[in-house]
Amino acid sequence: MDIAKEVLNGSRLALSRAITAVENEHDDAVDIMKKLYPHTGRAFVLGITGPPGAGKSTLTDKLAKEFRNRGKTVGIVAVDPTSPFSGGAILGDRIRMNELTLDEGVFIRSMGTRGSLGGLSRKTAEAVKIMDAFGKDVIFIETVGVGQSEVDIVSAADTTLVVLVPGLGDDIQAIKAGILEIGDVFAINKADREGADKLNIELNMMLDLDGNMNKQWRPPIKQTIAHQNEGVIELLETLEEHYEQLKSTGQLTTRRTERTKNELLNILKNEIGNYVLGKITESGQFDKLVKDVEGRMDDPYSVVNNIIKDMLK
Which stretch in 101-109, 154-162, 278-286, 288-296 sits in contact with another protein by CB under 8 A? 101-109
Please provide the DSSP assignment of 185-200 as one string.
EEEE-STTSTTHHHHH
Q: Which residues contact 262 (CB under 8 A, 6 or more apart)?
A: 155
92 lies in the site for another protein, by CB under 8 A: yes
CA-to-CA distance for 225 and 55, rounded, in angstroms? 9
Taking CB under 8 A as the criterion, the residue among 30, 91, 276, 289 binding another protein is 91
Taking CB under 8 A as the criterion, the residue among 49, 73, 82, 159 binding another protein is 82
Closest CA to 235 of 299, 302, 187, 284: 187
84 lies in the site for another protein, by CB under 8 A: no
303 lies in the site for another protein, by CB under 8 A: no
Q: 26 or 259: whose CB is closer to another protein?
A: 26
Taking CB under 8 A as the criterion, the residue among 4, 8, 65, 109 binding another protein is 109
Which stretch in 24-32, 35-43, 216-224, 238-246 sits in contact with another protein by CB under 8 A? 24-32
CB 146 within 8 A of CB 50: yes
Minimum separation from the CB atom of position 120 to another protein (A)? 10
Q: Which residues contact 199 (CB under 8 A, 6 or more apart)?
A: 164, 166, 172, 188
Minimum separation from the CB atom of position 233 to another protein (A)? 17
Taking CB under 8 A as the criterion, the residue among 58, 149, 160, 224 binding another protein is 58
Going by their DSSP bridges, the two strands 221-223 and 74-80 should be labelled as: unpaired
- For another protein (CB under 8 A), the number of binding residues is 38
- What interhelical angle do 117-134 and 29-36 show, nearest 10? 50
Instruction: For the chain, report the end-to-end CA distance as a whole number of angstroms.
Output: 40
Q: List residues near another protein by CB under 8 A.
A: 12-13, 16-17, 19-20, 23-26, 53, 58, 82-83, 85-92, 94-96, 98, 101-102, 107-110, 112, 114, 116, 119, 227-228
